[in-house]
Structure 1
Amino acid sequence: MSDHIKEKGKASRARLLAAATSEFARRGYHDVRISDIVSIAGLTQPAFYLYFSSKEAIFLEITEIFHSRVKELIDNSLLDSEREMEEIFENIKTKLKIFFGFLATEPDLTRIGLFIDPNRTQIKAEMILMIQRNLVKEQRAGYFRDDLDMEFVAECLVSMIEQLTETRLLPGLSNVDRLATQVVDLMLRGMIKE
């Protein structure tokens, strides 16, 4: 198979994924048909079946893309134990900005992964567990108080991210920097006036 044909195939597959992502995010899983996807992608149904066995198969691939990216971001969010404590606020804010940035730049993927995927509850539970593991490591490194229940903290953080993404980030009511700053300020400094 020539390189040109391979590249054309990759481009067609990518168009199908983009069209499906857009449609699933806009209309939900059940209201989207394969004919809708191929029409938007400018391809035929036989072309669809060259790359995906069913509507469920393309949806599962889209959700896996979201889950893989979230896992990678959480894996990369562990604080460097070599850093100075004075930098902790900015370090955590930067990592949260990267996370919110991904959600903001991929709004359709985010809608599917956080709000449409029937497995979203399980995925959020996995996010909580991954964040909890990072927080426990950081707690042991001396970043956080020893008496904090990091499962509770992780659950609060994931719930905040989910809610703020839905009500502020995706509708454009708040930007990535502002959300990250407010979340980190609340989580690390609390509400009591000093």
Structure 2
Amino acid sequence: MGERGRPKGASGEESRALLLEIAAREFAQNGYHETKISSIVKGASLSQPTFYLYFKNKEAIFEELEHLFRMRIIEYTKQSRLQPMLESTKVKTRITYNLKELLVFLDKNPDLTRIGFYLSTKADEIKAHMVEQIRGNLDFEVNAGYFRKDVDTLMVAECLIGIIERLTFTQLLTKLKEPEEIANDIVDLLLEGMLSKES
């Protein structure tokens, strides 16, 4: 072992990142209470003293994972706002792309997603924050002329988060559909509706 319990060749940043990755997997698979620091360090092939170099306790590493999920989600929802003066032919394509990017993140980080959407005691708070951000985006987009003036943006934001959360667990993380397919399905439903074109 190298200095202060680190494996030779592994930087502090690498060890810390590995502990976060293994902890996310352990929490997602076993739940918060069943996860032990000993199982995290064993999975990371590191020592308990190394764990305590970076994290005060199990709660601290779990809180960091919650924070990571929240920050990434905020980033994606901020980036999803449609810019003014977008050509009407590009609106649907842009919305689909933004949603696909979020779903790709959730798909590539299934353990973090399970923590952020379900295991975290702050899961409801995280989803409520997403709703507020999306509502703000929608209010901006209604004013920019992309959507009807009478749209209830809060209801649409709540529906969208509900759809994303549900389909993430029933279709995305189960690999039934790819992120792009799910994004297309959601956007088609919300923008085109369910009525037959012949109706």
- TM class by shorter chain equals over 0.9
Query: Which residue, out of 89, 93, 106, partners 1:86?
Result: 89
Deviations along 1:74-117, one digit per CA (max 9) or x if unpaired, are 00000011211121111100000001111011111111111111
Query: Which residue, out of 164, 179, 182, partners 1:179?
Result: 182
Aligned to 1:128: 131
Q: Do residues 118 (structure 1) and 121 (structure 2) align?
A: yes
Query: Which residue, out of 59, 62, 72, partners 2:62?
Result: 59
> Within 2, Cα distance between the matches of 1:38 and 1:159?
35
The percent of aligned pairs where both chains have the same amino acid is 45
Deviations along 1:22-51, one digit per CA (max 9) or x if unpaired, are 111111111100001011011111111110
Aligned to 2:36: 33
Matches within 5 A, 1:122-161: 122-161=125-164
* Normalised TM-score (structure 2): 0.93
* Normalised TM-score (structure 1): 0.95
Deviations along 1:53-75, one digit per CA (max 9) or x if unpaired, are 01000000011001000000000
Tell me which amino acid in the other structure corresponds to 2:125: Q
Aligned to 2:13: 10
Q: Do residues 98 (structure 1) and 91 (structure 2) align?
A: no
Q: 1:6 deviation in Å?
A: 10
Aligned to 2:26: 23
RMSD over aligned CA atoms reads 1.4
Tell me which amino acid in the other structure corresponds to 1:30: H
What SS is found at the alignment partner of 1:46? helix
Aligned to 1:47: 50
> Within 1, Cα distance between the matches of 2:64 and 2:143?
37
Q: Do residues 69 (structure 1) and 67 (structure 2) align?
A: no
Tell me which amino acid in the other structure corresponds to 1:160: I
Query: Which structure 1 residue ranges, 5 or more long, are not aligned?
Result: none
Task: Number of aligned residue pairs: give it.
Answer: 191
What SS is found at the alignment partner of 2:147? coil
Runs (4+) off by over 3 Å: none
